Amino acid sequence: MLCLSACVPAVRVDRVDGQDAYKTMTLNALSSDHASDWSRNTVNEWGLLKRFDEQPEVALVELRDIVTSGRGGRRELFALAEFSFLYAEKTGKKPYHLAAAIYAYAYLFPSKTEDSAGKLDPRRRISADLYNRAITTAFESEQGGTVSLAAGNYPLPFGEIELTFDSAQLNWGDRQLADLTPVAEIEVIGMRNHHRIPGLGAAVTALALPRDGVDVHKSLIAPAAQVAATVILRVEDVRDGIASGKMRGSLDLYKASETETITMEGREMPLEIDETTPIAVQLAGSAIWKQEFYGFFGRSAMDMQLPALMSLEPYRPGRIPVVFVHGTESSPARWADMANDLLADPLIRQRYQFWYFFYESGNPVAYSGMLLRDKLIEAIQRMDPKNNDRCLREMVVIGHSQGGLLTKLTAVDTGDRLWNTIFHVTPDKLPKSIESRELLEKALIIKPVPFVKRLVFIATPHRGSFLARNWVNNLLRGLIRLPATIATLPLQALKAAGAFQSQTEFGKGALPTATDNMTPGNPFLEAFKDIPVAEGVPYHSIIAVKQEFPVIEEGDDGVVKYTSAHLDGATSELVVRSSHSTQAEPQTIQEVRRILHVHGDELENAGLECSPDRNQQDSASKRVSP
C-alpha cells in the first residue's frame, strides 16, 4: 500500500469543458459567494486564506496592515476590496461595504501611474464593479431598496470618513429627485433591449417630483418621470486615509441627461449609466396603458390633462427636438423600445431631445392636429422667447398611424381646401353669433409650423384604413365623448344657416370622430391626401406590410394597405415586413436612426452644429485630489 501511494503524482490535470473553465476563471465576489482566484492566491500567499474563513475581521486587519506598511501593493488592495465586499455581503455590515468601495477606489486610482493595472487586466473592471455595487449597499436607506445621500461621518472598520453632499444636486429642471433606486436590483421585463454604458459609479433611477410652486400640467417633464443618474464617491488622499483611519470625501450625483464623463483624480472617466431601466420603471404599472383605451373614448384613467407635450428630461438649449406622435388607441408608451434604442446611439443622445405628444385619439383628426400645433408653438415660445436657439427650430416630427396624419398637419398649407369639405360658405359668411368660428378656422385653415423641418410617417393611412367602416363609425360615435370645445359647436344653428356641405357628418347634424376621418372616401381625407407637404420639408415613409404578401404593393399591415401608406415625393421609403405596430421592429428603428443622422449631418454641413457638450463638468467633477 505504501509503495502504491508513493507512485500517485501529487499534481495532476483533468480536461474540463471550455465554458466551465471560463466561469471558474471569471468567478468573483460579485457573481458568487467566493472571491476570485486572483484574490484567493494573493491572500493565500500571505497565509491568510484559512484565517479569513475562521476569523474574517482579523484577516482583513492583517491584510490592511500589509498594504499600509508598504509590504503589499495593488494585488493586496484588490484582495482587500473583494474580501471586504464578501464579508459585508455575508454579514450586512455597512462599514465593510464602504471599505470595499474605498479599497477599490485606491486600486483604480493609484498615486503612481506605474502602479496601475494593465489595460487588459480584468481586475480593473471588477474593481470598478465592486466600487459601483458597494456604494449602493453602503448608503442604502433605512427602509431598504433605495440609496440615501447625506453629508456626515460614516464608520469604517478601521476608522471613519467625513463626507459632504450638496443637496442642490437633487434638483433637475423644475423637479427634485427622490427614491434613488439601484438599477442593479431591478430586472427589466418586456423591453426588447437593455442598454448600459459601462463606467464608474452606482447607476440609479430616480423619481422626479415637482418642486414647490411647479404646475405639472404646464411642465414639459412628464409626470412621475424616472431619471437615469449616477452616484459617485470621491475620496481625498485615499492611501494616507487608509493608513490613518481618518478620511474625507464627497458624495456626488450626476444626471445622465447632463453629463456622461467626469474627472476623477485628474483622469477622465465614463459614468456607469443605464437609460433602459428608468423607462421601464416609469411604464411598469403606469395608468398610461389604461389611458390608451379610455383616451380614445374621451375619458381619463390617470391624473393628467390631455393633450400634453411631454419629455423625459428638462429642455436643454442646443438640441433638436424629435416629437413622437402616437396613433389611435395608443400612447407615448408605444415608443419605448424605439426611444430606448435611439438613446443608445451617442450621436443621437448628443444632438436630440425627445418629446412625446399625448392626446385623446378619438377626436376629429383636424382638431387633434390643431392641438399638436398649439402645443409645439407654446413650448417653443416658452423655452426660447428671444429666438436664440436655432437647433430648437430644426424639429423632426414622427407619427405612427393616425399620428402620421397629425404629423402632416404640422407642415401643410391647406388654404381653404379642408374648410370647403365641411362648409360651402367662407368663414366670414358664418353667422356672427357663432363664437367658435375662430376654432373652426384654426383647425381647418392651416399654415406650416415654421420650425418643423422634417417629417417621418410610420404606417400612416393617408388614404384611410380599410378597417374603418361606416357601421363601426356609427357605433363608436355614440361612445366617444368629445371635448367641450367642439362638443358645444352650434351644429343646428350652422345647419339652419345652410353653412354645411350636406354629405359630411356635420351636414347630417353629427360631429365626426377620428375613425370617420380615416374611412376611405371620407371628404376630409379625400381632400387632405392631395395636399402636399410644404416645400422645403423633406418627408420619409416607413410602411409595414405583413410577410404573407408576396407582392408588397398588394399588401397591408392588418390595418393600413401599402397603397394607402405610400406617398409620392417622399425623400425615402422603406417597407418593413411587420404588422401595423411596427415602432419596435429593428428595421423601423434603424431607419429612424438613419434619418436622424441624415438630418443632423445636413445641418452640420450647413454650418449649424446641434451637439452641445454633454461632457461639460460642474464644479464637483472638476475637483482633483492633490
Residues 235 and 355 in one domain: no
Domain annotation covers residue 623: no
SS3 549: coil
With cut-offs at 50, 70 and 90, classify the pLDDT of residue 15. Answer: confident
Residue 386 has pLDDT above 60, yes or no: yes
Q: Is 386 helix (H, G, I), strand (E, B) or coil?
A: coil
Helix ranges, 363-482 (H): 365-383, 402-408, 417-422, 437-444, 470-477
Residue identified by cell 376629429 is 364
User: Among residues of the chain, what percentage have pLDDT more than 90?
Assistant: 68
More confident residue, 10 or 145: 145
User: The pTM is what?
Assistant: 0.89
120: Cβ contacts below 8 Å, ≥ 6 apart: none
CATH of the domain at 433: 3.40.50.1820
pLDDT tens digit sequence for 422-451: 888 888 887 766 667 788 889 999 999 999
Q: Examine the pLDDT at 419 and tell me if it is beyond 60.
A: yes
pLDDT confidence of residue 617: 36
Residue 230 domain-assigned (yes or no): yes
Decide if 186 contacts 145 (C-beta within 8 A). Answer: no
The residue from 94, 115, 138 where one domain ends is 138
**How many CB atoms neighbour CB 42 within 10 A?**
26
- Residue 244 is assigned to a structural domain of this protein: yes
In a domain, 441, yes or no: yes
Task: Decide which of 78, 104, 138 is a domain's last residue.
Answer: 138
Tell me: do 179 and 117 sit in the same domain.
Answer: no
State yes or no: pLDDT of 372 exceeds 60. Answer: yes
Has residue 221 got a pLDDT over 70?
yes
Q: What is d(CA 495, CA 134) in angstroms, rounded to the nearest whole number?
A: 72
Q: Are residues 272 and 321 both part of a single domain?
A: no
- For position 514, what pLDDT does the model report? 86
Among 85-99, 238-252, 428-442, 446-460, the minimum mean pLDDT is found in 428-442
The pLDDT assigned to 24 comes to 77
Backbone φ and ψ of 289, nearest 5°: -70, -40
Q: Is the pLDDT of residue 150 over 60?
A: yes
Average per-residue pLDDT for the chain = 88
Backbone angles phi, psi at 51, to 5 degrees: -60, -40
pLDDT digits (tens, 9 = 90+) for 456-507: 999 999 999 877 555 455 555 555 566 767 666 666 667 766 677 766 666 5
What pLDDT sits at residue 120? 79
3-class state of residue 542 by DSSP:
strand
Same domain, 133 and 197: no
* pLDDT band, very low/low/confident/very high, at 625 (cuts 50, 70, 90): very low
Structural domain including 90 reads: 24-138
- Contact between 108 and 180 (Cβ < 8 Å): no
222 burial class (0-12, 13-18, 19+ CB within 10 angstroms)? Answer: buried
Q: What is the pLDDT of residue 464?
A: 93
- Whole-number pLDDT of residue 401: 96
Residues contacting residue 589 through CB under 8 Å, at least 6 positions apart: 337, 338, 341, 342, 583
428 and 571: one domain?
A: yes
| Pair 128, 160 in one domain | no
Grid cell, residue 526, equals 379625400
Integer distance in angstroms from the first to the last C-alpha of the chain?
67
Contact by Cβ (8 Å): 351, 320 = yes
Domain boundary among 107, 138, 169: 138
Residues 441, 309 share a domain? yes
Q: How many CA atoms lie within 13 A of 540 on its CB side?
A: 20
Confirm if 462 and 570 have CB atoms less than 8 A apart: no
| pLDDT, average across residues 259-280 | 94
- State the total domains in the chain: 3
At 494, is the secondary structure helix, strand, or coil?
Answer: helix
Q: Which of 180-194, 372-386, 488-502 has the lowest mean pLDDT?
A: 488-502
Q: Classify residue 284: in a domain, yes or no.
A: no
Do 259 and 313 have their domain in common? no
Least confident residue range of 416-420, 512-516, 609-613: 609-613
Report the pLDDT value the prediction gives residue 500, as an integer from 0 to 100: 73
Do residue 210 and residue 246 come from a single domain? yes
Report, as an integer, the average pLDDT of 243-252. Answer: 96
Higher pLDDT, 522 or 304: 522
Is residue 580, in this structure, part of any structural domain at all?
yes
- Does 208 lie in the same domain as 306? no
Burial of 122 (0-12, 13-18, 19+ CB in 10 A): middle
Report the pLDDT averaged over residues 529-556.
96
Both 339 and 254 in one domain: the answer is no
Residue whose C-alpha is closest to residue 169's, from 100, 234, 103, 217: 234
Across the range 346-357, mean pLDDT stands at 95
> Residues 64-68: what's their mean pLDDT?
95
Residue 479's pLDDT is what? 53
Is residue 615 very low, low, confident or very high in pLDDT (cuts 50, 70, 90)?
very low
Residue 350 lies in a domain: yes
Strand partners, 209: 176
pLDDT for the residue 4: 61
**Which has the minimum average pLDDT: 86-100, 379-393, 600-614?**
600-614
Q: Is 290 contained in some domain? A: no
Cβ atoms of 518 and 525 closer than 8 Å: yes
d(CA 399, CA 405): 7
Q: How far is CA 406 from the centre of its chain?
A: 24
Q: Does one domain contain both 508 and 455?
A: yes
Measured over the CA atoms of residue 10, residue 15, residue 17 and residue 22, the dihedral's sign is positive
- Hey, which of 220-229, 395-404, 430-439 has the most confident mean pLDDT? 395-404
